[in-house]
Structure 1
Amino acid sequence: MQHKRYRTGFAAMAAAALFVSACSNATTDSQSSTSSPAAPSASPSAASSDATHNDADVTFAQGMIPHHQQAIEMSDMLLGKQSIDPEVISLADEIKNAQGPEIEQMQGWLQEWGASSSPAPATSTAMPGHDMPAHQMPGRDMGKMPGMGGSGHGMMSEADMAALQNAQGAEASRLFLTQMIAHHKGAIMMAQQEIDNGQFPAAVEMARNIVSSQQAEIDTMQGMLDK
């Protein structure tokens, strides 16, 4: 009888141990099931850390870089002259100070994206009667290309640039303001396209700043001309 009691007690202890083990496993499974969703949650954050860009962003940077470069060239022409209205000199300095850093920033984006600093040349597949916009033409010195006056997002032609180079005094100030108003209007058109179609946040933000700042400068320059 005593041995029988021992066997019964041992069986009860074994059953209790199995029950505790099962509960422990169930708890572990429950914890792992509740914690498992945390792993996929890292995926969206990783994706959001990589700022994406599209073709509109590339086109914006490739077009705005030579556009800004010409504005700086025009400003340098004016700043090298004598007897220029101090207000116009101040404006030319502001244009250089604003657009120089933007050029460097856009060049950095293109390098980061593995894109060329200038678009590929036009090919024979272009539709007849549809001239390629000036900002899409290859080459950095857009101001040295003839026959582009006013038609390529405000880009100046070779003749326009020569006229500014040769003007002096009040005439140089007037010509600079007139040309730069057209130039700024073209930049605003390009920036608006980026706002509408771009994807890279920093590029869209720059485009918004270009629209607001250059429209303010247009208003200022128009006021100078109206005096």
Structure 2
Amino acid sequence: MSPRPRAIGLTVFVATMLACVLVAASVIIGRATASAEPLPGTLSADAGFARDMQVHHDQAVQMSMIVRDRTDDPEVRLLAYDIATSQSQQSGQMFGWLASWGLSQASPEAPMTWMHRSPGGAGGHDAHVAVDPAEVPATMPGMASREDLDVLRELSGRDAERRFLELMIAHHEGGVEMAEAVLDRSSTPVVVDLAGSIVRAQRSEIGLMQDLLAARSGVTP
């Protein structure tokens, strides 16, 4: 089972770099033509989403690369390739947003804090409403544990496919939850557009993965 991981990794890297270049170009054009609309602040939902979803997407890419090395199944390998390339590209976009807004890639507060502020009122500015740290979960929605990834690396064939699909369904459900949360909290066009596309694409992929999992479990969907 040798899926040419170096070639796939290079493809993912190139997709990410291309996304960053396109974002930078759009920022330059936008700054030349845009009105003086305030940019999102460092504690805004926009910035929190951009930081946290990059981390979330990066794990999806990691799991996709693992399963491509553990199975020869064309359906699962194509799905994994699509997830790796699309989410690498989106991570590049979100990296570019933060750079164009003049914000650090590192958050000044715990991950997911933005998601536990009530929607409305903050817009793209800093949100100064305090959040009780006890209300913020230790992990992002749908994230696999280190132990989950270790197990996936040890499996092969149908066992690896089933575990990947189970983990990625949960991961996508968490990604949809995060995207819907920022849609409730943002009016920034690029954020709204990308979050909406994430919701649509990942819901569609969840349905596909449920079908693939059922076919590999002997269960009728």
TM-score (norm 1): 0.66
Report the Cα offset of residue 118 of structure 1.
2.9
**Match of residue 68 from structure 2:** 79
**Match of residue 66 from structure 1:** 55
Question: What is the identity percentage for the equivalent residue pairs of Structure 1 and Structure 2?
Answer: 38
Distance 1:103 1:90, change over 3 A: same
Match of 1:116 among 100, 104, 117: 104
Question: SS in structure 2 opposite 1:155?
Answer: coil
Deviations along 1:117-169, one digit per CA (max 9) or x if unpaired, are: 232354xx9747435443xxxxxxxxxxxxxxxxx211111111111111111
**Match of residue 186 from structure 1:** 174
Report the Cα offset of residue 48 of structure 1.
3.5
Distance 1:98 1:128, change over 3 A: closer
Distance 1:156 1:218, change over 3 A: same
Report the Cα offset of residue 47 of structure 1.
6.6
Runs of 4 or more consecutive aligned structure 1 residues displaced over 2 Å after TM superposition: 46-54, 125-134
Do 1:53 and 1:199's aligned partners in 2 also have CA atoms closer than 8 Å? no
Deviations along 1:68-105, one digit per CA (max 9) or x if unpaired, are: 00000001111122x43210101001101211111111
Rounded to whole Å, the distance in 2 between the matches of 1:165 and 1:225 is 18
**Match of residue 130 from structure 1:** 135
Rounded to whole Å, the distance in 2 between the matches of 1:128 and 1:207 is 25
Q: Does residue 109 of structure 2 align to residue 156 of structure 1?
A: no
Rounded to whole Å, the distance in 1 between the matches of 2:136 and 2:40 is 27
Rounded to whole Å, the distance in 2 between the matches of 1:163 and 1:187 is 22
Deviations along 1:185-222, one digit per CA (max 9) or x if unpaired, are: 00000000111111220111000000000000000000
CA RMSD of aligned residues (A): 2.1
Do 2:46 and 2:182's aligned partners in 1 also have CA atoms closer than 8 Å? yes
**Match of residue 176 from structure 1:** 164
Task: Provide structure 2 residue ranges, at least 5 long, that are not aligned to the other structure.
Answer: 1-32, 111-129, 216-221
Q: Does residue 99 of structure 2 align to residue 94 of structure 1?
A: no
Amino acid at match of 2:198: I
Do 2:152 and 2:163's aligned partners in 1 also have CA atoms closer than 8 Å? yes
**Match of residue 53 from structure 1:** 40
Rounded to whole Å, the distance in 2 between the matches of 1:198 and 1:225 is 35
Rounded to whole Å, the distance in 1 between the matches of 2:38 and 2:73 is 44
Do 1:57 and 1:198's aligned partners in 2 also have CA atoms closer than 8 Å? yes
Q: Does residue 185 of structure 2 align to residue 209 of structure 1?
A: no
Do 2:39 and 2:101's aligned partners in 1 also have CA atoms closer than 8 Å? no
| Structure possessing the higher radius of gyration over alpha carbons | 1
Comparing both chains, which one has the higher relative contact order based on Cα–Cα distances under 8 Å and sequence gaps of 6 or more? 2
Rounded to whole Å, the distance in 1 between the matches of 2:97 and 2:132 is 30
